[in-house]
Amino acid sequence: MERTLILLKPDCMERRLAGTVLARFEQKGFQIVGMKLMQVTPELAAKHYAEHVDKPFYPGLLAYITSDPIVAVCLEGREVVATVRKMVGATKGWLAEPGTIRGDFSLSGQKNLIHASDSLKSAKREIAIFFKPKELIQWKTSDAQYRLSPSEMEE
């Protein structure tokens, strides 16, 4: 089972879309194994956006991500990283396909509602930034038997 990190960014929270966005992942069959409402500090933002610290857009990114609370969520499921990225849509909301989260709710490039890990390696690093191991709970849902990967469906 894979795990990935999503962050419901300040604009998602300000627009009261957290439940709507989370419902899409749950309806897809992904399991929430960690979730918390938090205020991102500049130090936490620097760890998360380490590859962007020296870029010209970083001050605006820092101001935005620390402006209001976020919800950090660790999702678990088969092929969760790639599937969540598809569900989220293109970074720039105006380019995101209808039916994706950004395509349905965002028109901005930076205020684009949600962050999703872009690879298994990134997911592992990012989950460790936002969650302590004891904050991630392994549990079994009643519908676990129905959550199959695409390769399992072909069998």
Q: Residues with catalytic annotation?
A: 115
Q: How far apart are CA 14 and CA 112, in angstroms?
A: 12
- Taking CA atoms, 114 is separated from 18, 110, 149, in Å, by 10, 10, 24
Q: What is the DSSP string of 95-118?
A: GSPBTBHHHHH---SS--SEEE-S
